[in-house]
Structure 1
Amino acid sequence: MAESEPKIGIVGSGSWATAMIKMLGDNEVQKHVLWWIRKIEDLTYVKTYHHNPSYLSAVELRVDETNLYTDARQVIQQADIVVLNTPSAYLKAALREVQASDFAGKIVVSAIKGIIPDENLIVGEYLMKVYGIPIEQIVVIGGPCHAEEVSLEKLSYLTLAAKVSDHAEQLGKLLRNRYINTIISTDIFGVEYGAVLKNIYALAGGICHGLGFGDNFLAVLVSNAIREMETCVNAIDPEESRDINASAYLGDLLVTAYSQFSRNRTFGHMIGKGYTVQSAQLEMNMVAEGYYASACIQNIIQGYGLNMPICDTVYQILYNKQPAALEVKKLATKLT
């Protein structure tokens, strides 16, 4: 990549951020990358050993020429393309010192599959409301894609959604390689809301699996879930033409509901087995976005007057502490 090419700032140091660093490194653009790592001890380890000690720790990272920071604002100020890649619950803290002017004129990418707690806003909406970023500058990264499979260089697909297709294509050129393909979309809200919802549905699948339900029931659950998702995203953004069976929606739902790497499915499985929310959170080293999303989506569902029994079931179990077995039994009578 030539020196005139854009600088890419990665804000986050979890598994998905680490996977993106691998993609960029394998594409030999590491000297154009600025990486925010929250903990100084992790930054020092990455710089010394070329591995992230906390996430995807077996993956060797090409970071010899990558600029590493513990100050997110420095990364954002210097970058031409800013990729936000923290759990949604921690984004506000990560951007605490950042000013709206720091984002001026930049392509801002949400690689976060969650809703900002206390705001009931997906990341794109939050960026527009709080930082005044025009929707034309925003790109959303969707799936279906697990960081663990990227780290193993398994062939994977990313959906890049933007109102300005050139912005999505520019990001795609940086990420595409022999194991990463990209799909370009204009459906920013649908892709981002779909990514939020599929985490809740994967959590539901995990709960059912933990309770002892089998693949037959999970298949019915997932087929109902995709119809629920379509109802929701079409109510929120009815103007966009979308095919709910496309990879960004159905594909992302399937991989999150069935994969061994799905943290939301794992979290749900623990709940189904009798763990409390708190004990399940303590045992997992990664954030299950579906937990936070459940409460936020519930408010959105009520606002639009939508009938979404799977989302409601998950909410009743997680937040109203209703018995999982009883709630799933009631849900089973509503599935078709």
Structure 2
Amino acid sequence: MSNDRAAVFSAGSWGTAVAKIMADAGTDVMVHARRSEIADAINTSRRNPAYFPDVDLPASLTATTDPVAALDGADYLVLSIPAQTLRSNLASWATHIGPDTLIVSLMKGIEQDSGLRASQVIAEVTGVSADRVAVLSGPNLAREIMDGRPAAATVACADEVAARRFQTACHTRYFRPYTSTDVIGCELGGAVKNVVAVAAGVASGMGLGDNATAVLVTRGLAETTRLAMAMGAHPATLAGMSGLGDLVATCTSPLSRNRTFGAYLGRGLTLDEAAAATRQTTEGVKSAEAILALSRAHDVEMPITEVISAFLHGKVTLDEAAAALMQRPPKSER
């Protein structure tokens, strides 16, 4: 059992799931919730009524709306907020982060204006070294984890000792974390798979079948790997939990918010209607243009990302998007 303490920002579905994992692993966890009614419910009824009203939370998991109280004495700061609001939120918290706190990113998106990965934004805003920023990424559907179903993930950090430390802090009977020093590969695997999942959802919503989904997963992995390698990642990372594992789960499960969003689009809903129906942040939509910009900067071909970005920005219709992916010139597979 650990005597460590973690601050988890925020009380959304994935933040709550990781908070539960860490509490089950023996870490004292304080969740920072934006809404007082959520914090009060966690503290009094041991449940998060907004996301998991049917799941009891461990007694060592508490909540607050005060970010300073949450960060006080925290060994880990676990960030689970939308990638596009990370910079502004973190700027207001940065002065309260302890000098030895390990900052862990759960975010799977690319900042739109800068093209930076979450770990880069964290380092830039807080001024901490890369050794103090870790990433947790993998095939982790929050609902299944809250139900105690088996899952695994990758903890990536430039400092291998720090990665192993956080690995211990979130290792339970149902959650198995592996370690890596390839932060770039882990983050890009998590970010690009959301765009591919939107494409898989669109295909599902259009009734294109399981073969089409398999094609998107396979070719999606290929373009993700190309970009990651061009940016300095190791190809083996993309064959692991934060690459192929996350891609398969996100592209095939009805629990996936990005796939669900895409499925609504494939059935003919508008972007606003699909967003309202999904009711959660879909990082694939927010990050598609930034990922496409990275691909162009590194001269990497990413046809799925390109078509989905064009579709999301109204440059092509649904039928044109589907046709564009299938009517590309035949080539060797590599």
Aligning the two structures, in what range does the TM-score lie when normalised by the shorter sequence?
Answer: over 0.9
| AA in 2 matched with 1:151 | M
Structure 1's consecutive aligned runs of 4 or more residues displaced over 4 angstroms after TM superposition are none
Q: Provide the C-alpha distance between the structure 2 equivalents of 1:231 and 1:294, rounded to a whole number of angstroms.
A: 16
Q: Provide the C-alpha distance between the structure 2 equivalents of 1:163 and 1:241, rounded to a whole number of angstroms.
A: 17
Of 197-206 and 208-217, the range deviating more from structure 2: 208-217
What does residue 288 of structure 1 align with?
282
Match of 1:14 among 3, 12, 15: 12
Q: Provide the C-alpha distance between the structure 1 equivalents of 2:209 and 2:199, rounded to a whole number of angstroms.
A: 13
What does residue 223 of structure 2 align with?
228
What does residue 56 of structure 2 align with?
60
TM-score (norm 1): 0.93
Residue 236 of structure 2 is aligned to residue 242 of structure 1 = yes
| AA in 1 matched with 2:6 | I
| AA in 1 matched with 2:170 | L
Tell me the CA shift for residue 74 of structure 1.
3.4
Cα distance change of structure 1 residues 89 and 151 upon mapping to structure 2, 3 Å threshold: same
The aligned runs of 1:252-263 (5 Å cut-off) are 252-263=246-257
Match of 1:49 among 26, 45, 49: 45
The aligned runs of 1:53-202 (5 Å cut-off) are 53-63=49-59, 65-100=60-95, 102-202=97-197
Q: Provide the C-alpha distance between the structure 2 equivalents of 1:165 and 1:317, rounded to a whole number of angstroms.
A: 40
What does residue 316 of structure 2 align with?
322
Determine if contact 1:13/1:86 at 8 Å carries over to the other structure: no
Describe the superposition over 1:166-190 as per-residue Cα deviations: whole angstroms up to 9, x where unpaired. Answer: 2111111121111111111111011
Structure 1, unaligned runs of 5 or more: none
Structure 2, unaligned runs of 5 or more: none
Determine if contact 2:106/2:137 at 8 Å carries over to the other structure: yes
| AA in 2 matched with 1:53 | P
Q: 3-state SS of the aligned residue for 2:92?
A: coil
Match of 2:296 among 292, 297, 302: 302
RMSD, aligned CA: 1.8
| AA in 2 matched with 1:280 | A
Tell me the CA shift for residue 89 of structure 1.
2.7
| AA in 2 matched with 1:152 | D
Indicate the percent of aligned positions where both proteins have the same amino acid.
28
Determine if contact 2:250/2:258 at 8 Å carries over to the other structure: yes
Aligned residues between the structures: 330
| AA in 2 matched with 1:297 | I
Q: Provide the C-alpha distance between the structure 1 equivalents of 2:127 and 2:204, rounded to a whole number of angstroms.
A: 43
Q: Provide the C-alpha distance between the structure 1 equivalents of 2:312 and 2:190, rounded to a whole number of angstroms.
A: 19
Q: Provide the C-alpha distance between the structure 2 equivalents of 1:49 and 1:299, rounded to a whole number of angstroms.
A: 46
Of 163-172 and 242-251, the range deviating more from structure 2: 242-251
Determine if contact 2:73/2:98 at 8 Å carries over to the other structure: no
What does residue 33 of structure 1 align with?
29
Tell me the CA shift for residue 243 of structure 1.
4.5
| AA in 2 matched with 1:176 | H
TM-score (norm 2): 0.93
Describe the superposition over 1:287-324 as per-residue Cα deviations: whole angstroms up to 9, x where unpaired. Answer: 11111011211221222222110000100110134201
Of 88-97 and 133-142, the range deviating more from structure 2: 88-97
Describe the superposition over 1:220-253 as per-residue Cα deviations: whole angstroms up to 9, x where unpaired. Answer: 1211111101100011115x46343222211111
Tell me the CA shift for residue 56 of structure 1.
2.1
Tell me the CA shift for residue 116 of structure 1.
2.7
Tell me the CA shift for residue 103 of structure 1.
4.8
| AA in 2 matched with 1:154 | R
